[in-house]
Amino acid sequence: MSTETLEFQAEARQLLQLMVHSIYSNKDIFLRELISNASDALDKLRLAALTDDELTAEDLHIEVVADAEARTLTVRDNGIGMARDEVVTLIGTIAKSGTADLLRRMKENKDKDSAELIGQFGVGFYSTFMVADRVTLVTRKAGEQTGTRWESAGEGTYTIEEAADVATGTSVTVHLRPKDEEDALYDYTDEWKIKEIVKRYSDFISFPILLVKAAAEPKAEGDDESPAAPETLNSMKALWARPRSDVKDEEYAEFYRHISHDWTDPLEIIQMRAEGTFEYEALLFIPSRAPHDLFQRDGARGIQLYVKRVFIMDDSRELMPDYLRFVKGVVDAADLSLNISREILQQDRHIQMIRRRLAKKVLSTIKDLMTKDAEKYATFWREFGRAVKEGLLSEQDDQKAILDVSSFASTASADPTTLADYVSRMKDGQDEIYYMTGESRAQVENSPHMEAFQAKGYEVLLLTDPVDEIWVEAVPEYDGKKLQSIARGNVDLSADEDKPSQEKTGEFAPLLTWLGETLDEVKEVRLTSRLTTSPACLVSDANDITPTLEKMYKAMGQDVPPVKRILELNPDHPLVTGLRDAYAGRAEDPALPETAELLYGTALLAEGGDLADPARFAKLLADRLARTV
């Protein structure tokens, strides 16, 4: 058959022009695309041979041939091959409904990495024109006698002709552009560069990728020196595709170090496989220590995404909720398009399904550690508990599972406790899970708010992580028990006979009114039974933000109006009864307002708060002490 010259489809011509004149930095992916196409062809031949006795699928492999002198790079396979009509259909035409969208996005994203777009619509072959002056494809379909030769310079037309003496499979030869052009192409005939690309993108392809030396000059007669044996470039060791029992722990540890750059062994290994309408495999690792950038906004995170063992992206955050950002690993999907963009990842329902299942599996693994390996769990929670609790804010569906694997400091013991264990120890008639937030355990334990709870033996959770201030607002209850701050609202543990009587309340009414008018910092002054040894404490109203949360908002640059709090008094404390009597006898005494200031200041300091005017407080205190000496 004579040579024919045909035109590309209009959209194909536009795409070729973008490829040839693109300014994308990552031109390496053309080799990844060719190898991926070759792997698909080998898979198709292997599958066809199962039902066609005339086809054989032996010694399936991919060869990469670099010829520095000719400046060509050839990728060839002994796979299914293509007939002439298939070549025209698959290469000369882009029969994809999304082509126009691809062209638009490529024009808009010239400053971005081409790896997010090339191949998205099945046009990976065209990426060769980013590096090529000319591309030659020779192919013969398995079971047919003649082959096809296709060639194009990427300028709108291509030639196609029948080819004799062609081996089954496909061979693509890229005639590389000169190295000294403005875009500073790598020399893709250099062995180191070929090895680097294959290692990064195609290391786990299940067929051997062989680096073959280009044919040298004809040897002199009698020179029987054998050509160098081809070098296998890929490991073909996709650990996630192998049964757990077939892989040594050392192999998992080596792979973990490879993908995480962490030279410690992982704390736990998670392997899973999903089959059915959407198939994928995953190999995940829980590290044994937190990375230094765990709480940095631009910290490294995400799971490696592969499609049919071809590497797609390094930090796919869409595959794992942010609160599990420390998890490392690989997801290998069977049915995603190569190189789908991050925008599509965010919207793809299969990706969302994977994300939910991976999170569920990680949480169940943590639960297993909690019940079966206390030492490992303690390490995990120490390193990552603070991050996990962030999920209580962002993942409504995961709240119960996150709470089940969380542990908290408690007054019951020096060791952390789970919420389930707390509930099992609750007193008869106790309907609430008591907690208090603060900057440290010591600060919380020494707070006046704790006095009645300690005296009556009620357990209190001691929440000292910054995120604790926020998640307790988003989680109303656990196992039917409401979470209640002991420093907010009107918490009353006293039996009826221990509560301030109506008569006693009447006795203090003038003092309470006067203090409320004298102290501008408070919204209300009232008696309480929550104190046993301290004269006073400050509490937030049930619907007000806490002082710590107010500080956090201000630290983030948010303008938060000051929130007045409630001053509660211990009616049995000598200072409070003395102040009552003093006000009743000499209400006009100028020293009384100073005493009120000192009372408020000591309550603020007792809970670890900051005085608005420390110098004034110190002077008042010094003057008062001087008068008592």
* Domain of residue 458, CATH code: 3.40.50.11260
Total of domains in the chain? 4
Q: Are residues 29 and 164 in the same domain?
A: yes
Establish if 225 belongs to a structural domain: no
Q: Residue 279 is part of a domain; what is its CATH number?
A: 3.30.230.80
Q: Cα(454)–Cα(459) distance, rounded to whole angstroms? A: 8
Establish if 236 belongs to a structural domain: no
Q: Are residues 463 and 508 in the same domain?
A: no
Is 586 annotated as a binding-site member?
no
Is 400 annotated as a binding-site member?
no
Is 441 annotated as a binding-site member?
no
- C-alpha closest to that of 119 among 136, 98, 139: 98
Is 370 annotated as a binding-site member?
no
Q: Are residues 202 and 251 in the same domain?
A: no
Is 129 annotated as a binding-site member?
no
Phi, psi angle pair for 385, to nearest 5°: -60, -40
Q: Cα(405)–Cα(402) distance, rounded to whole angstroms? A: 5
Last residue of a domain, one of 372, 388, 422: 372
Q: Are residues 271 and 417 in the same domain?
A: no
Q: Are residues 567 and 424 in the same domain?
A: no
Q: Cα(400)–Cα(418) distance, rounded to whole angstroms? A: 12
The CA–CA distances, whole Å, from 23 to 114, 115, 418 equal 9, 13, 55
- What pLDDT does residue 122 have? 43
Q: Cα(141)–Cα(144) distance, rounded to whole angstroms? A: 6
Cβ neighbors of 16 (< 8 A, separation 6 or more) are 8, 126, 129, 154, 155, 156
Last residue of a domain, one of 318, 348, 372: 372
Establish if 220 belongs to a structural domain: no
Is 96 annotated as a binding-site member?
yes
Q: Are residues 190 and 150 in the same domain?
A: yes
Q: Are residues 461 and 545 in the same domain?
A: no
Establish if 476 belongs to a structural domain: yes
Q: Are residues 507 and 609 in the same domain?
A: yes
Q: Residue 75 is part of a domain; what is its CATH number?
A: 3.30.565.10
Is 124 annotated as a binding-site member?
yes
Q: Are residues 307 and 352 in the same domain?
A: yes
Q: In what order do the strands lie in the sheet with 565-569?
A: 522-527, 565-569, 536-539
The DSSP secondary structure of 379-411, one letter per residue, reads HHHHHHHHHHTTHHHH-GGGHHHHHHT--EEET
- C-alpha closest to that of 27 among 233, 153, 210, 187: 187
Is 122 annotated as a binding-site member?
yes
Is 82 annotated as a binding-site member?
yes
Mean pLDDT in order along the chain per 10 residues (629 residues): 76 66 68 89 87 89 94 95 88 50 55 43 70 93 94 86 93 86 68 92 91 65 63 91 90 87 91 87 95 83 84 84 94 74 67 92 97 96 96 92 96 94 93 92 91 92 92 91 88 59 79 93 90 91 79 78 89 92 87 91 88 91 85
Is 37 annotated as a binding-site member?
yes
Q: Are residues 257 and 279 in the same domain?
A: yes
Cβ neighbors of 236 (< 8 A, separation 6 or more) are 203, 204, 205, 206, 207, 208
Is 113 annotated as a binding-site member?
no
pTM: 0.74
Expressed as residue numbers, the domain containing 450 is 407-486
The answer to whether 608 touches 439, Cβ cutoff 8 Å, is: yes
Q: Cα(123)–Cα(446) distance, rounded to whole angstroms? A: 67
Establish if 174 belongs to a structural domain: yes
Is 98 annotated as a binding-site member?
yes
Q: Residue 582 is part of a domain; what is its CATH number?
A: 1.20.120.790
Is 180 annotated as a binding-site member?
no
- End-to-end, the C-alpha distance of the chain in Å comes to 118
Q: Are residues 282 and 352 in the same domain?
A: yes
- What pLDDT does residue 111 have? 41
Establish if 574 belongs to a structural domain: yes
The answer to whether 76 touches 38, Cβ cutoff 8 Å, is: yes
Last residue of a domain, one of 486, 517, 535: 486
The answer to whether 28 touches 197, Cβ cutoff 8 Å, is: yes
Establish if 396 belongs to a structural domain: no
Is 170 annotated as a binding-site member?
yes
Is 147 annotated as a binding-site member?
no
Establish if 365 belongs to a structural domain: yes
- Return the structure tokens found at 123: 């046009």
Q: Are residues 148 and 174 in the same domain?
A: yes
- C-alpha closest to that of 94 among 135, 122, 132: 122
